[in-house]
Amino acid sequence: MKFLIAFILLFAIACNGEIIDNKSENEKFIQGKWSLSGTIGDETENRAWYLEWEFNNGEFTQTGYPPITQKGKYKIIEDKENTLKLKLYKQKGTFGEEDSELIIIIDKENKSISINNKKGFKKISKENKE
């Protein structure tokens, strides 16, 4: 009986993702916070901007300046070679609540990603485990 209870407990933990990690290599790569920044303008007036995306086990946060805040959940709908297509859902923030899609191109050699054609995002923090 004790063996059966231990087995059920172990199985429940495994199904919760604590033991079995079923993320693809691409999904593992994007976990954490990514940042891209720059300036816009000419020699008389420059304005700084930045974008940050954080991916954490099915949840995302987007922040930036000029002020952007968007949070929600994601799921991978396509995973091919170095490209992920994510569905963003249960969103709240600057861009509303409608579901949307996000394309991420992974450059493992340069340790960077492109998000929706914005190239050069660099990782600034690792994945958050909860």
pLDDT of residue 2: 64
Query: Does 15 reside within a domain?
Result: no
Query: Does 86 reside within a domain?
Result: yes
Average pLDDT, the chain: 87
pLDDT of residue 113: 98
pLDDT of residue 45: 87
Q: Which of 8-17, 41-50, 73-82, 104-113 has the lowest mean pLDDT?
A: 8-17
Query: Does 54 reside within a domain?
Result: yes
* Greater pLDDT, 28 or 130: 28
Query: Does 11 reside within a domain?
Result: no
Q: What is the mean pLDDT of residues 7-30?
A: 68
Q: Which of 39-53, 72-86, 111-125 has the lowest mean pLDDT?
A: 39-53
Query: Does 20 reside within a domain?
Result: no
Query: Does 18 reside within a domain?
Result: no
Confidence of residue 122 (pLDDT cuts 50, 70, 90): very high
Q: What is the mean pLDDT of residues 23-48?
A: 93
Query: Does 17 reside within a domain?
Result: no
Query: Does 5 reside within a domain?
Result: no
Distances (CA, A) of 53 to 22, 48, 64, 116, 130: 22, 17, 9, 12, 18
Q: What is the pTM of this model?
A: 0.79
Distance between CA atoms of residues 12 and 25, nearest Å: 24
Centroid of chain to Cα 48: 23
The total of structural domains in the chain comes to: 1
Question: Are residues 99 and 116 in contact, defined by beta-carbon separation less than 8 angstroms?
Answer: no
Distances (CA, A) of 22 to 27, 28, 115, 123, 126: 10, 10, 23, 22, 18
pLDDT of residue 18: 47
Distance between CA atoms of residues 22 and 51, nearest Å: 29
Which range of residues forms the domain containing residue 102?
25-125
Q: What is the token pair recorded at 109?
A: 């050699």
pLDDT of residue 130: 47
